[in-house]
Amino acid sequence: MNHLLKVEGLAKSFAGSKAVDGIHFTIGEGRCMALLGPNGAGKTTTIRMITGLLEPTSGSISFRYQEPGMDRRKLIGYLPQIPAFYGWMSGKEFLVYAGRLCGMSARAAEASSKELLERVGIADAGKRRIGGYSGGMKQRLGLAQALIHKPKLLVLDEPVSALDPIGRREVMALLSELKRETTVLFSTHVLHDAEELCDDVLIMREGRIAIHGAIDEIRASNRQPVLLLETEGDERSQGWVEEWMRHQPAFVQTAEVTGSGLRLVVNDVGAARRMLLAQLAEADVRVTKLEFGHTSLEDLFIKAVAR
C-alpha cells in the first residue's frame, strides 16, 4: 500500500513537558484513520504538527505529493477542534474567503463555494450570516472550508463531539461519503465512531502510541474468550462469587464482579467451561445466565488507555 503520510520520531515539548513523545506511523493513501486517546494524550498536538500549524521539537513528517520547497498545507484540509468563524460573514462569503487564502482565483473560489455548500447540505443558508447558524450548520461549513482546495488529506479534530445526536449522525453520514474521495484523519473520543467510519486506528496515551493498525486486524489478533455469569443474587450465590474471587484458577486472565455475577476474560475457554460448570453445580448456585463470548475492541481500548 502507498503511504500518503509518513511520520517519524515526531515529538513536541511545551516548557519541558512532552506532549508528543517520539511517535512513528504512516497513513495509507485512500484510508480513513481514527486518532483516539484520553484528554491530554497528544491528539491535537499531533494533528497541528501534521497540518503545519505547529513546529515539531524533533522528528519528520513526509507527504507523498510534497515537492521540495512546497508548502504541505496546500495538500491538507483542516477542521480544528474549535473552529472560529466571522459571525458577520455569510457562509458563502466565508468559503470564498477561505478559497482565496488558499490561493484560488476569485472565479474558482466562487464556483467551488457554491458546489460545496450544496455538498454539505447548507445551500439554503449560504447567504445568511454565520452568526445565526446552529452548531451542526457551523460544523458543515467548517467541513466545506476544509475541502475548498480539494485536499489530498482531510484532517478533522473531533468533528462531531460538539454536536447533538442528530447533528452527529448527519456529519457522520457526510464523512462516510467524503472518505470515499480522499484520505481522512480524524480524532475522536468515541470508539464507536471510529469503528463505524475507519479502516485504521491510532490510539495515543501520554504522548505515545498505544495501538496502531487496521481495525479488523487489531480486533482479530486481540480477541479473547469472555465468560459471563449471572446469578439470582441470593446470599449463597453472592457468597460463592466472593469465595471464587479469592481463589481464581489459572485460566483466568481478568475477573470482575458484575452485580450478581462475574465477567471473566480467560485463555482456555474449554477448561474454564468444564471447571466452572462443575463448581456451580456442586455449590448449587442459582445461575440465571451463563454466556460465552469474546472481548470487544472496547475492552482493548480501555486496557490501552487505562492509567
Ligand X SMILES: Nc1ncnc2c1ncn2[C@@H]1O[C@H](COP(=O)(O)OP(=O)(O)OP(=O)(O)O)[C@@H](O)[C@H]1O
Give whichever of 45 and 113 is closer to ligand X, judged by the CB atom: 45
39 binds, among Mg ion, ligand X, none (CB under 5 to 8 A by kind): ligand X
For the bound state, the minimum distance from the C-beta of residue 82 to Mg ion, rounded and expressed in Å, comes to 9
**Strands 76-79 and 252-258, bridge-based pairing:** unpaired
Positions touching ligand X (CB under 6 A) are 14, 19, 37, 39-45, 81
Q: Name which of 53 and 250 has its Cβ closer to ligand X.
A: 53
Least Å distance between CB 43 and Mg ion? 5
CB of 47 to Mg ion, least distance (A): 8
Nearby residues of 272 by Cβ (< 8 Å), 6 or more positions away: 225, 227, 249, 251, 252, 264, 266
Give dist(CA 161, CA 81) in Å, integer.
Answer: 9
Question: Residue 19 binds which entry of ligand X, Mg ion, none, with Cβ cut-offs from 5 to 8 Å by kind?
Answer: ligand X
224 binds, among ligand X, Mg ion, none (CB under 5 to 8 A by kind): none
C-alpha cell, 280: 456451580
The mark string for 10-49 relative to Mg ion (x by CB under 5 A, - otherwise) is ---------------------------------xx-----
With respect to ligand X, which residue has the nearer C-beta, 53 or 101?
Answer: 53
Chosen from ligand X, Mg ion, none, partner binding at 41 (C-beta under 5 to 8 Å by type): ligand X
| Choice between 161 and 260, CB closer to ligand X | 161
Burial tier of 220 (Cβ tally within 10 Å: 0-12, 13-18, 19+) = exposed
- For residue 113, which amino acid is it? S
Which is closer to ligand X, CB of 21 or CB of 200? 21
- C-alpha cell belonging to residue 103: 490561493
**Residue 77's binding partner out of ligand X, Mg ion, none, with CB under 5 to 8 Å set by partner kind:** none
H-type alpha helices, the chain: 43-50, 91-101, 106-119, 135-147, 165-178, 191-197, 215-221, 235-246, 269-282, 297-305
Give the nearest distance from C-beta 139 to ligand X in angstroms. 16
Q: Should residue 231 be labelled a site residue for Mg ion when binding is judged by CB under 5 A?
A: no
Select from Mg ion, ligand X, none the partner in contact with residue 40, using the beta carbon and a kind-dependent cut-off of 5 to 8 Å: ligand X
Euclidean distance between CA atoms 248 and 54, whole angstroms: 50
Which of 42/225 has CB closer to Mg ion? 42
**Minimum distance from residue 39 beta carbon to ligand X (Å):** 4
In angstroms, rounded to a whole number, what is the distance separating the alpha carbons of residues 60 and 42? 16
Q: Which residues of 228-265 are buried (b: 16+ CB within 10 A; e: fewer)?
A: ebbbeeeeebbebbeebeeeeeebbeebeeeebbbbbb
Complex with Mg ion: residue 26 or 44, whichever CB lies closer: 44
Comparing C-alpha atoms, which of 118, 178, 171 is closest to residue 150?
A: 178
Q: Which of residues 44-83 bind Mg ion (CB under 5 A)?
A: 44
Minimum separation from the CB atom of position 14 to ligand X (A): 3
Residue 245's identity, in one-letter code, is M
Binding site for Mg ion (CB under 5 A): 43-44
